[in-house]
Amino acid sequence: MSEFVVKPGVKNLVHDDEKLVTTHCSYCGMQCGMHIRVHKKTGKIMGVEPRYDWPVTMGKMCPKGVTAYQQVQHPDRIKRPLIKKNGKFVESSWKEALDLIETKFKELQSKYGKDSLSVFGGVSMTNEKCYLVGKYARVALGTRYIDYNGRFCMSSAAGGFIKTFGIDRGSTLPWPELEHSDCFFMAGSNTAECHPTSIQWFWKAKDKGAKMIVVDPRETPTARVADVHLDLKPGTDSALANGMMHLIIREGYVDEDYVRERCNNYEELKEAVKLFTPEYTSEITGVAVEKIVKAAHIYGRSPRSVVMFARGVEQQSKGVDNVALYSSMALLRGQVGKFASGVATFTGQGNGQGGREHGQKADLLPGYRKLTDPEAVKYISSVWGINPEDMPKPGVSAYEMFDEIQNGNIRAMHVICSNPAVSAPNTEHIWSGFRKLDFLVVSDFFLSETAEFADVVLPATSWAEDEGTTTNLEGRVIRIRKVIEPVGESKPDWLIMKEIAERMGKGKHFNYDNPGEIFEELRIASKGGKADYSGITYDRIVKEDGVFWPCPSEDHPGTPTMFKERFDTPDGKANLAVVNWKPAGEYPTEDFPHILTTGRVVYHYLSGNQTRRIDFLMEQCPVPYAEMHPELASQYNLSSGDYVRLTTRRSAMDLEVRITKAIRNDTVFVPYHWGKELAVNQLTNPCLDPVSRMPEFKVCAVKMQKTAAPEASLK
Ligand SMILES: Nc1nc2c(c(=O)[nH]1)N[C@H]1C(S)=C(S)[C@@H](COP(=O)(O)OP(=O)(O)OC[C@H]3O[C@@H](n4cnc5c(=O)[nH]c(N)nc54)[C@H](O)[C@@H]3O)O[C@H]1N2
Ligand SMILES: Nc1nc2c(c(=O)[nH]1)N[C@H]1C(S)=C(S)[C@@H](COP(=O)(O)OP(=O)(O)OC[C@H]3O[C@@H](n4cnc5c(=O)[nH]c(N)nc54)[C@H](O)[C@@H]3O)O[C@H]1N2
Ligand code: SF4
Ligand SMILES: [Mo]
């Protein structure tokens, strides 16, 4: 490409020495459109230009996105396989590394059985790779033990959507329609920091008079501009949602025709929410009665409204209930399946949507098929060319795989694209699990905290060195381009899995020469499933600015708006959620009197293994901290810059104090993007949602104590 659009109607030329490659950001579910600038002669990546003609993000990018390219040729890249010898990593050839993996995997399986191996996947990878991770575990290794980092991210959204709508697509509407909405009810989403390029749509709508209601224990940058900020106690969302529905019903805001024709359980719901008067709701949530009432009136009177949420409501042991209840608010108002209205979760990781559909989950096969459904097993076995009897049974969830390590069932793990040593809850369980394993393989492009535990580290390529597709937070399937050749001797994950499969005697099932061939198989595997990609082709994606699944045939337009006529349930109706409020797994007691919640800052991404290597981002936010209200700080005689020891029932850690009025006075917030002694997951509660098996990252009980600055930080 020699020119690109700078703004509508204006084009810029590319310097003769450079070429532009059109792709998307590597990080969050926004998948902002960008062009990467490459020096033709040296192959060096020079920088990035936002893509103004990408309809979802319209030329906007955030601080992580504009520096994302700096990872690709970063000096820290792992360029050759590493094998741990006498406790130290030594560079090796691919042959030596793969020989060792083959020997160990075979040895362990012959001694302890097929299920002694396990795979821990991730969704920063393309659909092609995510699809292959599931097949790799079940066909190449023949193990039941596979799960992935989306279990910590999107599993409660998935559970809540399936319960309510019968299918899990993160958004029921395309993003550009947000501009035409009248009201956004946003719960547990720090949108301005975590999906920053969405904000433009809310501004556009606000300019036309739209209202915004934000539900968050902190006054985030999004809450600051809201019309109502419902500053609830962490872990009380289901009470708040029930309270909102109480008022929607009491004030006559229900779309009775819609509910009668399209929803189940209305009478039961009416009965269940009777209890949730504004007073009772206020008592549980700590939100003032007037604010609850004001929010209900704004939401109830808006002709077009969108209920949106994110991990704040999902990363709880009642996350599935929360999602189902908030979604039911939108159903009562008859908002789902219509223009500029509906329900959306802010999908987290770049391919957090696609990566959860193709079989990386312990109980799922591609196309969102269930491993417990004999027909699904038969179909996928035929696509994979295996005997249905050889299909492994469902395994266990991500955190529970570490229980299986502790009890000796899992003896080896291959971690592909995740850093659970930082990002899983109750890290001591994870760290001791990694130490206990007989053999750990990690595929990554930077040496992560998880990779440090490994016996073999395999250098994977970054997102800019391979082709493929991802599915963004709307459900739109988009193209990721190869920008440069693989750095050093690194290889794309699909090729690494193929080579291990060959050594495990399963090469004939992994006969691919490029990601396009994997995508063709994925299309067939997904055909007839809930997440049907069979009508999507690479060409269509480019021609149509992405294609929304479900898309069951090449002449099908794709599905930007879900549920226009029916829901994906057996009777075609949505299921209103009838659920009482239940307290979080841990609540403040005399011994642990405050609430700890964890999350993100705009400058870092997840475990931080990528963003902690980018100078600009580290300058902006070098270390984690404990954010608290002045009233709470004063109880402990703390000022900003002092150090505090936070102790939970799991562990303790010391953090710098940051005082702000933008948080409840009973809650402490810590961002989680750092490892080892700086990992807040040392403290978090691994209490799991009974349906989604999502850990409760957002709520646990904590005590505090003033402490001295750690040695290393003394100035
Ligand atoms: N900058 C940045 N952006 C990211 C990421 C990143 O690491 N950094 N990660 C991406 C990924 S994978 C994800 S999953 C998303 C996450 O995106 P978000 O879910 O928006 O981010 P979080 O910071 O985890 O949590 C959101 C908010 O939930 C609030 N909260 C805490 N407890 C509760 C509660 O009990 N109820 C309610 N209603 N709110 C609560 C927190 O105060 C916080 O403001 O972001 C994506 N984008
Ligand atoms: N306390 C607390 N903990 C949390 C959360 C929270 O809010 N609070 N949020 C949870 C959420 S929502 C999430 S999504 C998880 C994320 O947790 P992780 O999965 O640990 O997150 P990442 O840092 O993205 O880890 C991805 C790793 O893979 C590497 N990588 C990136 N792309 C590729 C690729 O294409 N191939 C390979 N092989 N490697 C690649 C990166 O360098 C990085 O080391 O954390 C969860 N943990
Ligand atoms: S908003 Fe998300 S996808 Fe867009 S530039 Fe930032 S991190 Fe990348
Ligand atoms: Mo996430």
pLDDT of 228-240, one tens digit each?
999 999 999 999 9
Ligand that lies nearest to the alpha carbon of residue 214, given by its number in the listed order: 1
Ligand with the closest atom to the CA of 425:
2
pLDDT at 294: 98
Domain-wise residue ranges, the chain = 85-153+356-531, 159-345, 594-714
pLDDT in tens, 649-695: 999 999 999 999 999 999 999 999 999 999 999 999 999 999 999 99
Class of domain 85-153+356-531: alpha beta
d(CA 7, CA 116): 55
Q: Does 311 sit in the ligand 2 pocket, CB within 6 Å?
A: yes
Write down the CATH number for the domain with range 159-345.
3.40.228.10
Ligand 1 atom with the smallest distance to the CA of 217 is: 42
Q: What is the pLDDT of residue 637?
A: 97
- As beta bridge partners, residue 345 has 309
Residue 68: C-alpha distances to residues 35, 418, 465, 672 (Å) = 12, 17, 13, 19
pLDDT by residue (tens digit) across 100-126?
999 999 999 999 999 999 999 999 999
User: What pLDDT, on the 0 to 100 scale, is given for residue 715?
Assistant: 42
Distance of CA 14 to the CA centre of its chain: 35
Nearest atom (ligand 1) to Cα of 309:
19
Q: Which residue's alpha carbon is nearest to atom 13 within ligand 2? A: 153
Residue 178 backbone zone (phi > 0: left; psi -120 to 50: alpha; other: beta): alpha
Domain 594-714: which CATH number of 2.40.40.20, 3.30.1050.10, 2.60.120.10, 3.40.50.970: 2.40.40.20
pLDDT at 652: 98
Which of 149, 483, 613, 651 maximizes ligand 2 atoms within 8 Å of its Cβ, making it the mutation to test the pocket? 149
pLDDT of 68-89, one tens digit each? 999 999 999 999 999 999 999 9
Q: Are strands 652-659 and 643-647 parallel, antiparallel or unpaired?
A: antiparallel
Average per-residue pLDDT for the chain: 97
Is the confidence at residue 4, as pLDDT, over 60?
yes
Whether the pLDDT of residue 1 is over 80: the answer is: no
What is the model's pLDDT at position 712?
Answer: 61
Residue 714 has pLDDT above 50, yes or no: no
Pairwise CA distance, residues 216 & 192, whole Å: 13
Name the residue with tokens 């005689």.
Answer: 637
Does 713 or 397 have the greater pLDDT score?
A: 397
Question: Average of pLDDT values for 248-269?
Answer: 98
Which of helix, strand or coil describes residue 549? coil
pLDDT exceeds cutoff 70 at 314? yes
Give backbone dihedrals phi and psi of 349, rounded to 5 degrees, phi first: -80, 160
Ligand 1: list residues with CB < 6 Å: 28, 153, 187-190, 193-195, 215-218, 220, 232, 234-235, 237, 310-313, 346, 348-349, 597, 599-600, 602, 604-606, 669, 698-699
Cα(34) to centroid of ligand 3, in Å? 10
pLDDT digits (tens, 9 = 90+) for 410-423: 999 999 999 999 99
Does pTM surpass 0.85? yes
Confidence of residue 13 (pLDDT cuts 50, 70, 90): confident
Q: Which atom of ligand 2 is nearest to the CA of 451?
A: 44
Residue of minimum CA distance from atom 4 in ligand 2: 423
Pocket of ligand 3 (CB under 6 A): 25, 27-28, 30-32, 61-62, 64-65, 195-197
Give yes or no for residue 223 having a pLDDT over 70.
yes
Q: How many angstroms does the Cα of residue 607 sit away from the middle of ligand 2?
A: 5
pLDDT of residue 713: 52
pLDDT value at 137 more than 60: yes
Percentage of the chain modeled with pLDDT above 90 = 97
pLDDT of residue 494 exceeding 90, the answer is yes
